């Protein structure tokens, strides 16, 4: 991570995981994503310290996430997103490396275009997509879209990154800051430079404190900024990727090796 960014984070007041979840679990929210280099992000981060606390666990403020995304043979999860379909579903297994546990997570969009995330703790890491997991995906897809999911899933891409989580002091809003991203799929490995950041703001209306600060600094959201889709495009795992090229260029990952 950029040294100056790490130093700026030390000025934030700390908040525990329990406090964070009570103030801003944000399992249903509107998201905005920004891709920013360290020199553009640093002034915003300095202003965030007035309004946000930082998640701290056992003295750590940056945590390693290891995530595997699952899709079907036709990669409908990817192509539904590429085509901008309202009915779309992302399924991932996320390992919270520092904490030592994993969750199956299902992300969907409801009729209000609000992101709905459902989670199931994984008790058998060697077999995360077991019958219980498959039923969990079906149940939540049916709950949002009133139809069966009906797809066989398998892992298609793995990624690792460091994540910092901020929560608004007044609650109801949180933000994640991801850096040092590394994607691996189909034998291709791509890494993002550690001075590049993906910032995701999560609030009820999609126009929280963080968004206003970023807008005042003339920093604007990046469209089509799904880490799953960016990783699939960057590793050359898909035929169509034009909708994600702006995000890839911002990350300096325009095209697979």
Q: Token pair for residue 24?
A: 């801003």
Boundaries of domain holding 112: 3-250
Note the pLDDT of residue 28: 63
With respect to residue 255, please indicate whether it lies within any of the assigned structural domains. no
Q: What angle do CA 112, 243, 211 make, to 5 degrees?
A: 50
With respect to residue 238, please indicate whether it lies within any of the assigned structural domains. yes
Note the pLDDT of residue 254: 57
Cα 218 to Cα 212: distance, rounded to the nearest angstrom:
10
Note the pLDDT of residue 57: 92
CATH number at residue 139: 2.40.320.10
Helices 38-48 & 209-216 angle (0-180, nearest 10) = 130
With respect to residue 215, please indicate whether it lies within any of the assigned structural domains. yes
Strand partners, 67: 94, 159
Determine if the pTM surpasses 0.85: yes
With respect to residue 256, please indicate whether it lies within any of the assigned structural domains. no
Note the pLDDT of residue 26: 54
With respect to residue 257, please indicate whether it lies within any of the assigned structural domains. no
Q: What is the DSSP code string of the chain?
A: --HHHHHHHTTSPEE-HHHHHHHH--SEEEEEEEEEEHHHHHHHHHHHTTTEEEE-BTTBS-EEEEEEEEE-TT-HHHHHHHTT-SS-EEEEEEEETTTTEEEEEEEEE-TT--EEEEEEE-S-TTSSSSHHHHHHHHHHHHHHHSS------EEEEEEEEEEEEEEETTSSEEEEEEEEEEEEETTEEEE--TTEEEEEEEESSS--HHHHHHHHTT--PPSS--HHHHHHHHTT--S--GGGHHHHHHTT--S--
Q: How many domains does the chain have?
A: 1
Alpha-carbon torsion angle 203, 208, 210, 212, nearest 10: 150
With respect to residue 24, please indicate whether it lies within any of the assigned structural domains. yes
Read off φ and ψ for residue 135, nearest 5 degrees.
-65, -35
With respect to residue 126, please indicate whether it lies within any of the assigned structural domains. yes
Note the pLDDT of residue 29: 66
Give average pLDDT by consecutive 10-residue segment, the chain, 257 residues: 83 90 70 94 95 94 96 95 89 93 92 86 90 96 94 96 94 92 95 94 86 96 93 94 92 67
Backbone dihedral region for residue 37 (phi beyond 0: left; psi -120 to 50: alpha; all else: beta) = beta
């Amino acid at each position: 991570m950029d040294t100056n960014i790490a130093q700026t984070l030390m000025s934030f007041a700390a908040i525990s995981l329990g406090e964070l979840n009570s103030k801003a679990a944000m399992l249903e929210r509107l998201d905005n994503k920004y891709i920013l280099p360290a020199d553009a992000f640093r002034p915003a981060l300095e202003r965030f310290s007035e309004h946000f606390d930082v998640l701290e666990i056992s003295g750590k403020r940056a945590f390693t996430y290891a995530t595997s995304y699952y899709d079907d043979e036709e990669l409908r999860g990817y192509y539904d997103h590429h085509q901008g379909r309202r009915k779309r579903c992302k399924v991932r297994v996320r390992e919270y490396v520092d904490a030592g546990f994993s969750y199956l997570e299902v992300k969907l969009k409801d009729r209000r275009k609000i992101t709905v995330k459902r989670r199931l703790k994984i008790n058998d890491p060697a077999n995360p997509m077991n019958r219980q997991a498959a039923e969990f995906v079906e149940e939540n897809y049916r709950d949002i879209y009133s139809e069966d999911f009906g797809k066989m899933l398998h892992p298609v891409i793995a990624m690792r990154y460091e994540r910092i989580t901020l929560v608004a002091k007044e609650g109801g809003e949180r933000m994640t800051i991801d850096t040092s991203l590394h994607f691996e799929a189909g034998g291709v490995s791509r890494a993002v430079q550690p001075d590049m950041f993906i910032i995701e703001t999560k609030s009820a209306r999609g126009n929280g404190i963080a968004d206003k600060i970023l807008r005042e600094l003339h920093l604007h959201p990046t469209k089509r900024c799904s880490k799953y889709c960016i990783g699939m495009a960057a590793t050359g795992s898909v035929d169509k990727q034009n909708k994600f090229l702006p995000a890839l260029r911002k990350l300096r990952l325009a095209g697979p090796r």
